[in-house]
Chain A
């Protein structure tokens, strides 16, 4: 089993590198330690300290995604780039679909929007699938918009539920428990989506769930009440996330300020690491080309391609084994 997984992982990485190299993308290699991160209040970070007697010390963070570096390269004129790297998310549930350290593939295509990234991703998945892969992990992808999915599986008209109170009423109608703390639009949406929609999405083919609600704030371009963002699922597992990358300096700056304020407010209570942000990051978008970026979980892809049911079968040295071995600190 283990040698089989070593081979599968090696073949997948090789096939994907060949795919991008043939298309003229540059493979890049950016740091795992960063002095600043993109503020994402819901992703907990690993914090460490560089210290030197003469130079002093500085807090550094293990990256939750290479976005913060790759976007700087694109602004510098790199053209289309890709990278396989290890990403780190603290305080994640350790389970079937999660490992605090995981392998991510990120690819940014200059000149593309998020719709162009769908056939590109289909081609990537097709060329890197093992011979024994079943139909549920092979292209073509099914496509459905979030608005269609919410109507189909929860009978919720998203256009008519732009207010949190309207969504909360839908939760009541569906008999969900009443929340015991105030909720944002996004949280109420997630309760509906996660209870009624996500578990019922078809799994016979990979599925692109397109156009997320604009209220779920992120660095994907806005288009009316929605965002130019999709997620791809295989066998019910989230595999990839794609944006038409926001490149308006003021929009990025406003996002940074709002999300950072939220992050500080939330973590002040819990005492978790508050990563620094680079106040000048938004300035890189003054010269940023039209780009679509995709982040793909490689361990999860290997898991669904090989018919395994948990990441521990795929990750050669799973975190759960590390937790239960060696010295413990409290």
Chain B
């Protein structure tokens, strides 16, 4: 399939030299004198490699049709993430290096929307805000004004996050998964 470069958006999957890439940044550029261009940054889901390019908006690019499927996250073995397609029950794997830090963001047993190109997993959609249980939290140091009002904590998934000093182990907190920043305490 092909599309006009001007129609590229964030999340568009393109085929570049036979390899799938997902567009992560897109900006229209109209130099003072000259044609209109779209400037993009793309990421390869298989290697994690990023590519930058600038294309005339009227030129065509090859896009690929992708499909979202629900997959349950089973476990990771240090090299691969293992999922099960909840409809077909097929096992799906992908290299952990493609999705850095995802082992700290995903919870075993939870189901995620995954984007596929044929049988290749291109993207795992993590909700922007997720509730985690605090596994460890530093003791608040009395009178410590240098580090301000936050301290280190680790969630049950292993995610390191700065939290306010009143947060204790066992409590639940909501975290912004993009910035990996604490948002609020969640009371059951």
Contact = CB atoms under 8 A, between A and B. Distances in A.
A245 B132 CA distance: 63
A186 B33 CA distance: 9
Contacts of B29: 194
Interface string A165-187: 00000000001110111010011
A308 interface: no
A150 to B, nearest CB: 14
Contacts of B55: 177, 179, 191
Contacts of A194: 29, 31, 37, 39, 54
Given A190-B37, A194-B39, A176 B32 contact: no
A180 B39 contact: no
B30 A195 contact: no
B78 interface: no
Interface string B30-54: 1111111101000000000001111
Given A191-B55, A194-B39, A195-B53, A42 B61 contact: no
B33 A95 contact: no
A216 interface: yes
Tell me what chain B mostly uses at the interface: helix, strand, loop, or mixed.
strand
Interface of B: 16, 27-37, 39, 51-56, 58-61
Given A42-B35, A190-B37, 13 more contacts: A179-B55, A181-B56, A183-B56, A187-B56, A190-B34, A191-B37, A191-B53, A194-B31, A194-B37, A194-B39, A195-B53, A199-B52, A218-B33
26 contacts: A92-B30, A93-B28, A93-B30, A93-B36, A95-B27, A98-B30, A176-B54, A177-B16, A177-B53, A180-B59, A180-B60, A181-B59, A187-B35, A187-B56, A190-B31, A190-B35, A190-B54, A191-B54, A194-B29, A195-B39, A195-B52, A199-B52, A216-B33, A216-B34, A217-B33, A231-B32
